[in-house]
A and B are shown apart, each in its own frame.
Chain A
Amino acid sequence: MALQTILQHLVNGISLGSLYALLAIGYTMVYGILRLINFAHGDIFMLGTYIAFYSMTAFFLPWWISFLIAIIVTCIFGIVLERAAYRPLRDSPRISVMISAIGASFLIENLAIVVFGGRPKAFPIPTIFSKILNIGGVSIVSVSIFIPIITAIALFILNYLVNNTKIGMAMRAVSKDYEAARLMGINVNNIISFTFGTGSILAAIGGVMWGLKYPQLIPLMGLMPGLKCFIAAVVGGIGNIRGAVLGGFILGLGEILIVAFSPTLSGYRDAFAFVLLIVILLVKPSGLLGQNTTEKV
């Protein structure tokens, strides 16, 4: 295989990996703080894409305003989802919350079919994202360059937020011990809302960029990426943000490269994630960067 082709696949893999990473972080953050798999996260991602779509096509807003609106509205939606579906069950057994999450996911998907219609829609791509760049004989669509750059910026900000700000410290504290956090005067519910908001913003950024790269919108478009990013979070070690990023990139690159090197396997593209999940659960169930749960008392 020519070097150009390999580079081409690498670029594709990195941009897909970036999208997976953005989405996987949402799973891992919510799990870290609530010990809950937010099954509706993939659907929040879908909503982000649709909101950007309608802002551009129905309200004729410029693309950057549309993307901003998509991010803001999706963030609010994530917070509302937590209030409505998870907060009333805060003291219930974990299985109840999980069932509520699955219910929320079905509700959003089916509402989307009713409201948006089941027919696929074409995401309008602003010219800045559809330029073909020629770098050293490799032709790349500009969006494939934008995705990793925007992802890197988002991750940088997130990293700063979690590690260097008071609210980030409070998030980490709440993820370990609700009651001790309350004794510090921390409003645990606000911190949980903040976590959902942050995860949803990342999902919206991922969703909009997904639309730019794979411009076909259907109401169930969040299902498969959602499952895969959940797997990415587990592979990296659920609860660990760096692990989610790592898992996302492994999944994205793996998927693209497997198909690139043996095109006969292209039908099994989606299976890659699930095989990886099985292998990880057998070999290192806590995930690549997951810690063992033993702690000094």
Chain B
Amino acid sequence: MLKIRDLNVHYGGIHALRGISIDVPENKIVTLIGANGAGKSTTLRSIMGLVKSSSGEVVYNGENILNKRTRDIVSKGIVMVPEGRRVFPNLNVEENLILGAYIRKDKEAIKKDMNFVYELFPRLKERKWQKAGTMSGGEQQMLAVGRALMTKPKLLLMDEPSLGLAPLIVKDIFQIIKEIHKDGVTILLVEQNAKAALEIADYGYVLETGTIVLEGKGKDLLNNDDVQRAYLGEAK
């Protein structure tokens, strides 16, 4: 579905991504793990056209979308849940969801999807009229995911959905990711919480200072000694 080939991104003089290649097959969960500053977020931002990439290819369903406008990429069915949730704090829950469907015109289907999101997150329904900025971190994360689902994505990019959330809520969030996936959405998940991410992922990549140093099936990476030592803190 999504093929990244030899992607390079520079921030001024910094070479943030050094020719990485990633495959995200349809209906799979692929995860990208690594430490701070490894280039995980940059990869997602580059796919979405939020940063200019210097070279390489991002092929989505056979079409190179590298450095295309963000709104064109969104309308092709790719959406990102940004790091730190970034819900619109001055808008209420319902308005945030309506904006999620900003590029869509099919009123009936939007209504249906809104109900779907409210079913997925009953909490959001209770807080329909509450300003997003006043909600807890977990609720904001639910809203950020719900808002992304309102674009009716085929490919969902998630940037650190567990960041800053209590362990119990993290569990909920990963449960929800699995549910969304079951619904036929392909997922590219960026996480520092390597264990949780690898447990639900079909395939994983380990990113270190802009290069992919390791890749493999989720379960295999989970049991890999290097990964355990570096990211799971379980030295043998």
Residues of A participating in the B interface, judged by any CB pair closer than 8 Å: 166, 169-170, 172-173, 175-177, 179-187, 295-297
Q: Assess whether B37 is interfacial by the CB under 8 Å rule.
A: no
20 additional contacts (CB under 8 A) given A172-B95, A181-B99, A184-B74: A166-B98, A169-B91, A169-B95, A169-B99, A170-B102, A176-B90, A180-B87, A182-B70, A183-B48, A183-B50, A183-B70, A183-B86, A184-B99, A184-B100, A184-B102, A185-B74, A186-B71, A187-B71, A295-B133, A296-B135
With beta carbons under 8 angstroms apart, the residue of A166, A179, A182 that contacts B71 is A182
> When A184-B147, A185-B151, A186-B99 are in contact, do A176 and B88 touch as well, CB less than 8 Å?
yes
Option from B71, B91, B95, B133 in Cβ contact (under 8 Å) with A296: B133
The segment from B6-14, B75-83, B186-194, B225-233 found at the interface with A is B75-83
The interface size of chain B toward A, counting residues with CB under 8 Å, comes to 29
Residues on A with C-beta less than 8 A from B89 are: 176, 295-296
User: B75 is contacted by which of A169, A173, A185 (Cβ under 8 Å)?
Assistant: A185
Contacts of A177 in B (CB 8 A): 86, 88
Residue positions of B touching A, CB distance < 8 A? 48, 50, 70-71, 74-75, 79-80, 82, 84, 86-91, 95, 98-100, 102-103, 133-137, 147, 151
A-chain residues with CB within 8 Å of residue B98 when the two chains form the complex: 166, 169
A185 with B88: in contact, given A169-B95, A180-B82, A296-B134 (CB under 8 Å)? no
Given contacts A179-B50, A179-B82, contact A172 B71 (CB under 8 A): no
A-B contact pairs, 28 of them (CB 8 A): A166-B98, A166-B99, A166-B102, A169-B95, A169-B98, A170-B102, A173-B88, A173-B99, A176-B88, A179-B82, A182-B50, A182-B70, A183-B50, A183-B74, A183-B79, A183-B80, A183-B82, A183-B86, A184-B99, A184-B103, A184-B147, A185-B70, A185-B102, A185-B103, A296-B133, A296-B135, A296-B136, A297-B84
Q: B91 is contacted by which of A173, A186, A187 (Cβ under 8 Å)?
A: A173
A172 touching B91 by the CB < 8 A rule? yes
Contact across chains for A172 and B103 when beta carbons are under 8 A apart: no
- Residues from chain A with a CB closer than 8 A to the CB of B79 are 183
CA distance A169 to B95 in the complex (A): 7
Query: From residue B164, how far is it (CB to closest CB) to chain A in Å?
Result: 8
CA A99 – CA B48 in complex, angstroms?
Answer: 33
CB distance from A179 to the nearest CB of B (A): 6
Nearest A residue to B49, CB-CB: A182
A177 to B136, CA, bound (A): 19
CA A173 – CA B95 in complex, angstroms?
Answer: 9
Whole-angstrom distance from the CB of A31 to the nearest CB of chain B? 15
Shortest Cβ gap from B170 to chain A (Å): 17
Q: Which residue of A lies closest to B134 (CB)?
A: A296
Q: A180 to B100: give the CA distance in the assembly, Å.
A: 10
Q: In the complex, what distance in Å separates the CA atom of A6 from the CA atom of B23?
A: 77
Task: Give, as a whole number of angstroms, the nearest-CB distance from A161 to chain B.
Answer: 14
CA distance A180 to B82 in the complex (A): 8
Looking across the interface, which residue of chain B has its beta carbon closest to that of A174?
Answer: B88
Determine if A180 and B71 form an interchain contact, defined as CB atoms under 8 angstroms apart. Answer: no
Contact between B86 and A179 (Cβ–Cβ < 8 Å)?
yes
Max chain A Cβ within 10 angstroms of own Cβ: one of B70, B75, B133: B70
CB distance from A76 to the nearest CB of B (A): 24
Contact of B71 with A185 in the complex, beta carbons under 8 Å: yes
Which residues of B sit under 8 angstroms from A179, Cβ to Cβ?
Answer: 50, 82, 86
Closest 7 CB pairs of A and B: A185-B103, A185-B74, A180-B86, A185-B71, A173-B88, A182-B70, A184-B102
Distance in angstroms between the alpha carbons of A183 and B100 in the assembled complex = 9
Distance in Å from the Cβ of B67 to the closest Cβ of chain A?
14
Known: A166-B98, A170-B99, A185-B70. A180 touches B88 (CB 8 A): yes
Most B CB atoms within 10 A — which of A184, A186, A187?
A184
Q: In the complex, how many angstroms separate the beta carbon of A295 from the nearest chain B beta carbon?
A: 5
Interface centre among B71, B87, B135 (most CB of A within 10 A): B71
Give A29 Cβ to nearest chain B Cβ, in Å: 14
The distance in angstroms between the C-alpha atoms of A173 and B100, with both chains bound, is 11
> Of B48, B86, B87, B88, which one neighbours A172 at CB under 8 angstroms?
B88
Set of chain B residues within 8 Å of A183, measured between Cβ atoms: 48, 50, 70, 74, 79-80, 82, 86
How near does chain B come to A171, taking the closest CB pair, in angstroms?
11
Tell me the complex Cα distance, A186–B91, Å.
15
List B contacts of A186 (CB < 8 A): 71, 99, 102
Q: Which of A169, A175, A177 has the most CB of B within 10 A?
A: A169
Q: Which residues of A contact B151 (CB under 8 A)?
A: 184-185
A185 to chain B, nearest CB (A): 4
Which B-chain residue is minimally distant from A183 (CB atoms)? B80
